[in-house]
Amino acid sequence: MNEPAMKILGYVVLLWALPIAVAAAQVVTHAQAPHAELLALDYEETLARAEDARDIRSRSVAASRLREGERKVSGLPGDLVVSAELGPRVAPRVAAQGRIGVAQSFALSNLGKARREVLHEQGRAFDAEGAALSFERRIAASRAFLEVRYAQQAVEVANNELRLAEDFARVTARGAELQELTRADAADAAAYAAEAKLMSLSAEGALADARFALTYVLAVADRIVDARGDTPTFQTPTPGQAAALHTQLERSPALVAILCQLQASDARKRELSANTGSQLALGLVADRTDPSAFALLGTVSVTLPWQRRSERERAELDASSQLLGGRLAEERARSHVELERLLHELEHQRDTLLHIEGTLLPAVEAGLVAREALFRSGEGDALEVIVARRSALAVRVRRERVRTDLLVVQARYGELARVIGGGT
């Protein structure tokens, strides 16, 4: 092949390989990109971040704007009307004439008060929506924080088990080499060490997922949120406190938010009635229809709501009130069911944790100690020890799961008691 052909072929190969090289470089760069920095928060800092969300603050700002408008609202139904009638007079003689007047309408109903009430009730509705959203965000953040703490505990348990499994695998491998143990014992121990490694990897993945979930709840964009500090503790409610909570559920954030929306709808109805009621118009007219005369006249007129009754707007507000009334009834029933479920979960998770810590865990740990003693004395095999270790590990993980579930329920109860004044 001659030299020009070789150059052309080289250019073709270069053009074909360049996109592949760029893509490969991008893959390597992405693979080598550093992980996002961790933002470690304790429990109280997590709840504070949850309450400081932008959509919660926006409702507070909106309520403030409405309160500012409440002080500036006018009670007049319309603007000042200026009219003019100008033209020449042609008979009996030509002359300029005209009439200029001003008029202002006044509502005979208390329109200004009705308008201020609308703004006031809408502001209360925004505040109530913000409080309900803050309540739900605190609960979601609390749960996400506790799930991260559970995942951290699971990683610690898994890594500890991995170290023990690897030590056990080395001991059994050495025993098999010295023909003190069988190859089956060594193989079982090696398999369990590999199984423990897989469990450790899975726990680390679950911890990453829990951190992402907490970051999502707090809407942090630039860092991954991690949990730090002590796991919070919560007081268990007494039967009297739990019973008192049922009578105070009307103050729960979700119910208050719907009630405020319903009151805002009623205020808009009153405003509509005031705005479409009778109106009195007072005016002044300067009249010069004769070159030799000038008149200054006062005018009075009354507008009766004969046709302008705003039936469409009234029907829309009635329909909205009906929908809100239905939501209120449903939420009221659900709140009582939710409280009953919450109290049941408190009792159930507490009893389950007491059973695990008081009965099940001591039993499996005693069995593990006995199996290990038999193995060391030569009367047992590695598989029996491994089965006992699996059982003990499963119970330890289960204990952490139940403990976290109990904390989640206690935290939710504590938040509910806090916002409705039931105490904990």
Question: Could you tell me the CATH number of the domain that includes residue 66?
Answer: 1.20.1600.10
Closest CA to 258 of 320, 341, 342: 320
Report the alpha-carbon distance of residue 162 to residue 339 in Å, rounded.
42
Whether 10 maps to a domain, the answer reads no
Residue pLDDT, tens place only, 301-339: 888 877 666 778 888 888 989 999 999 999 999 999 999
Give the burial class of 290: count Cβ atoms within 10 A of its Cβ; 0-12 exposed, 13-18 middle, 19 or more buried. Answer: exposed
Greatest Cα pair distance in the chain: 142
The secondary element (H helix, E strand) that includes residue 40 is strand 38-41
Average pLDDT, the chain: 85
Sequence-distant (≥ 6) Cβ neighbours of residue 294 within 8 angstroms? 286, 287, 288
The number of folded domains in the chain is 1
Whether 8 maps to a domain, the answer reads no
What pLDDT does 36 receive?
72
Strand partners, 297: 285
Whether 13 maps to a domain, the answer reads no
Helices (H), 103-221: 111-177, 183-218
The two tokens of residue 345 are: 């979960």
Please tell me the number of Cα atoms within 13 Å of 47 on its side-chain side: 13
Closest CA to 149 of 405, 360, 424, 413: 405
What pLDDT does 294 receive?
82
pLDDT per residue, tens digit, the chain (424 aa), is 444 444 444 443 333 443 434 333 443 333 333 467 899 999 999 999 999 888 889 998 999 999 888 888 888 888 899 999 888 877 677 777 888 999 998 888 888 888 899 999 999 999 999 999 999 999 999 999 999 999 999 999 999 999 999 999 999 999 888 888 889 989 999 999 999 999 999 999 999 999 999 999 999 988 999 999 988 888 778 777 877 888 888 889 999 999 999 999 999 998 888 888 888 889 999 888 777 778 888 989 888 877 666 778 888 888 989 999 999 999 999 999 999 999 999 999 999 999 999 999 999 999 999 999 998 888 888 999 999 999 999 999 999 999 999 999 999 999 998 888 754 4
What pLDDT does 309 receive?
67
What pLDDT does 182 receive?
86
Report yes or no: 58 and 111 within 8 Å, Cβ to Cβ.
no
Report the alpha-carbon distance of residue 260 to residue 124 in Å, rounded.
6
What pLDDT does 17 receive?
41
Whether 20 maps to a domain, the answer reads no
What pLDDT does 156 receive?
94
What pLDDT does 5 receive?
44
State the residue range of the domain holding 207.
44-420
Give the burial class of 181: count Cβ atoms within 10 A of its Cβ; 0-12 exposed, 13-18 middle, 19 or more buried. Answer: buried
Whether 36 maps to a domain, the answer reads no
Whether 37 maps to a domain, the answer reads no
Give whole-number Cα distances, 315 to 258, 268, 310, 319, in Å.
20, 12, 9, 6
Whether 15 maps to a domain, the answer reads no
Strand partners, 226: 40
Closest CA to 249 of 343, 347, 134: 343
Please tell me the number of Cα atoms within 13 Å of 339 on its side-chain side: 24
Report yes or no: 113 and 75 within 8 Å, Cβ to Cβ.
yes
Give residue for tokens 């809100």: 324
**pTM value?**
0.79
Whether 31 maps to a domain, the answer reads no
Report yes or no: 192 and 165 within 8 Å, Cβ to Cβ.
yes
